[in-house]
Amino acid sequence: MRMPASRTIPGLVDELAERFADREALVGLGRRYTYRELRGAIREVARGLHALGVRRGDKVAILMGNRPEWVITALAITTLGAVMVGVNTWVTARELEFVLHDSDTIVLVAADRFLRHDYLAMLAEIEPRDRRLPLLRQVVCDADALHHGMARFSELIARGADIPPGVIDAAGAAVGATDVAYLLYTSGSTSTPKGVQLQHYALIENMWQIGERMHVTERDRLWLAVSLFWGLGCENALFNLLTHGGCVVLQEHFEPGEALQLIEQERCTVFYGTPNMALALAEHPRRAQHDLSSLRTGGTIGTPEQIMRVVDLGAREICNIYGLTETYGNCAVTDAHDPLEARLATVGRPLDGVTIRIVDVEKDLALTAGEVGEIRVKGYVTCGYYKRDSRDYFDGEGWFRTGDLGYLDAEGRLHFRGRIKEIVKTGGINVAPIEVEEALMAHPAVKTAFVVGVPDPVRDEALAAVIVLRSGAAVTAAALEAHCRKTLAAYKVPRLFRFVDESELPLTVTGKLQKKRLSELFA
């Protein structure tokens, strides 16, 4: 295949509708769209948003599960040259107010609720809204009973009926490749969330390169239950398939039984998911009743055993991935045709258009192959945080500081070694938890291990290990301590052990391990 010629999202939508007019593009909630039909739906919503006064550079937020409206609205927003603000579906009223206010959102397109979350009730808490969110002009929401100042999605479409198609053509033509398309907020686990600005051209180019690593074609069909508000969903997965003319099959929210059925019925070939998703699919009581042989490739993260679980589900060419929202999600990806060992142990080589170097943080010097230091990135990197000074996140030569540890091997593949902030200082000596975790997982009884630091009156911090055992296996803390002493220096041997079931591990809403919370298990 050839890379799309377009470098803006409105241009990409037009190009895809011409190249793949009758090929299925989007499936969700019983609805199906070809690329031609998807373009028509996008333009219909774009006309409605234009009628509400949305113009180039304006911010429009989306708050809903993985529904076709999410994708259509996001592409409609960017077709006008406006900026799509992705809102976390697990948001609280306080967090919702912060994101809408910080982003200068003028229109919110939302569902009335998602699972147990009542968004209308949250909006009712943000009163008086004209004072607390002075820029928010309109809320578009389908619900039985709307609050004052809200409009239904059908009303949005009706308002746009009077907008001539040429107006949308002109708006799309005015969009520049370097214009900001997305504003995605970081999790904010350690500070106030920051809005990451992502540009049109890189959402196309970087995601095309991801698809090339995964050997995606127009015949591929993506199962997408990863939340669209998350960069893995709306950046990597979505534009990976769109740039290759493939089909996106949405699951509104992850439920393993439904996922098994959806993958089988839709013959999905591309898996995008987190370790907890793969575990839930593998252990579902009806797993054996479903044919997942259509699965082939995709992207995931995790330990070698967690990645093997995805391989065992059927995605034999699954790719290991690395990146941050700030690096357009994935910036290093294994090749689907790499040997399995390389896909289990490394996160692959940097994508085309991306350069990675490893730096000694204390000396600020570049390191050579095999040496562990901070991963720094150039190429497809955010143009900055919205309304914030971004200089502290780049070094003097313009490299983005990821805050992650890793090394490049002799073949140029990146090995992820954890977060710099996860380094444990015990007795004045720095210990990288991943080294201890790998030693623990070499024991035949250990399925997964996570190492953290806990307060210690003598050593400042003591190493503590959270252990998940293999099914039917048994081992004592004393035996694991003795096992570690065979391969690790004495100061690297954990002093505390806690055995848990994998389901007890604290996860974020997007399925990532909340490693900082593991220390609570030793309180």
Domains of the chain as residue ranges with CATH: 9-17+25-194 (3.40.50.980), 421-522 (3.30.300.30)
| pLDDT on residue 190 | 45
pLDDT confidence band for 429 (50 / 70 / 90) = confident
pLDDT band at 189 (very low <50, low <70, confident <90, very high): very low
Taking only the tens place, the pLDDT of each residue in 316-360 is: 999 999 999 999 999 999 999 999 999 999 999 999 999 999 999
Tell me the average pLDDT of the chain: 94
Query: According to the model, what pLDDT value does residue 79 have?
Result: 98
Q: What is the pLDDT of residues 273-330, one digit of tens each?
A: 998 899 999 999 999 999 999 999 999 998 899 999 999 999 999 999 999 999 999 9
Report which of 103, 123, 101, 127 is spatially closest to residue 112, judged by C-alpha positions. Answer: 123
pLDDT in tens, 505-522: 988 766 678 888 899 999
Is the sign of the CA dihedral 288, 292, 297, 302 positive or negative?
negative
Question: What pLDDT shows up at residue 276?
Answer: 87
Q: Hey, how many other C-beta atoms are within 10 angstroms of the C-beta on 285? A: 8
Is the model's pLDDT at 264 over the cut of 80? yes
Is residue 257 within 8 Å of residue 285, measured between CB atoms? no
Token digits for 40?
A: 């028509």
Structure-block tokens of residue 135:
């820029």
Residue 93, judged by CB atoms within 10 A of its CB (0-12, 13-18, 19+), counts as middle
Ramachandran region, residue 400 (left: φ > 0; alpha: ψ -120 to 50; beta: rest): beta
